[in-house]
Chains A and B, each alone.
Chain A
Amino acid sequence: MIEIRGLVKRFGPLRVLDGLNLDLVRGKVTAILGPNASGKTTLIKCILGLTHFQEGTISFDGRLLDGTHTYRRKIGYMPQVARFPDHLRGREIIAMLKDLRGRPESTDERLVEAFQLGSELDKPVDTLSGGTRQKISAVLAFLFDPVMLFLDEPTAGLDPVASSMLKDRILQDRAAGKTIILTSHIMSEIEELADNVVFLLSGRVRFAGPSDEVKSTTGQDGLERALAQIMTRDSNEIPA
Chain B
Amino acid sequence: MTATRKIIVYELRDIVRSRWILFYALFFLVITEGLFRFGGGSANALVSLSSLALVIVPLISIVFGAMYLYDARSFTELLLTQPVGRVALFKGLYIGLALPIAMSFLLGIGIPLVFRGILATAHLETALVLAVSGTLLTFIFVALAFLVAVTVEQKVRGLSVSILLWLLLTVLYDGLVLALAAFFADYPLERPMLVLMLLNPVDLARVLLLLTFDLSALMGYTGAVFEQFFGTLAGKAISIAGLMSWIVIPLVAGIRRFKKKDF
Contact = CB atoms under 8 A, between A and B. Distances in A.
Q: Let me know if chains A and B touch directly in the complex, using CB atoms closer than 8 Å.
A: yes
A87 interface: yes
B262 A79 contact: no
Contact of A86 (B18, B74, B77): B18
Given A49-B81, A50-B80, A70-B83, A96 B10 contact: yes
A82 B74 contact: yes
Contacts of A70: 83
A51 B81 contact: no
A52 B260 contact: yes
A142 to B, nearest CB: 13
A180 to B, nearest CB: 15
B3 interface: yes
A48 B81 CA distance: 6
A160 interface: no
Interface residues of A, number: 32
Contacts of A73: 83
A133 B53 CA distance: 39
Contacts of B7: 100
Interface string A72-89: 110101010111111110
A42 to B, nearest CB: 8
A86 B7 CA distance: 15
A101 interface: yes
A45 interface: yes
Interface residues of B, number: 29
Contacts of A50: 77, 80-81, 262-263
Contacts of B72: 85
Nearest to A44: B81
Contacts of B9: 99
Interface in A28-56: 45, 48-52
* Residue from B11, B74, B260, B262 whose CB has the most chain A CB atoms within 10 Å: B262
Contacts of A124: 17
* Residue from A82, A87, A140 whose CB has the most chain B CB atoms within 10 Å: A87
Contact of B83 (A51, A69, A85, A140): A69
B6 A86 contact: no
Interface in A71-124: 72-73, 75, 77, 79, 81-88, 92, 96-97, 99-101, 124
B10 A92 contact: yes
A194 B137 CA distance: 54
B13 A83 contact: no
A50 B76 CA distance: 10
Contact of B75 (A11, A84, A99, A150): A84
A92 B14 CA distance: 10
Contact of B84 (A69, A79, A83, A140): A69
A87 B18 contact: yes
Contacts of A99: 1, 6, 9-10
Contacts of A88: 10, 13-14
7 contacts: A49-B81, A52-B260, A79-B77, A83-B71, A99-B6, A100-B82, A150-B81
Closest 7 pairs (CB-CB, A-B): A87-B17, A85-B14, A77-B81, A50-B263, A51-B262, A83-B74, A96-B10
Interface of B: 1, 3, 6-7, 9-11, 13-15, 17-18, 71-75, 77-85, 260, 262-263
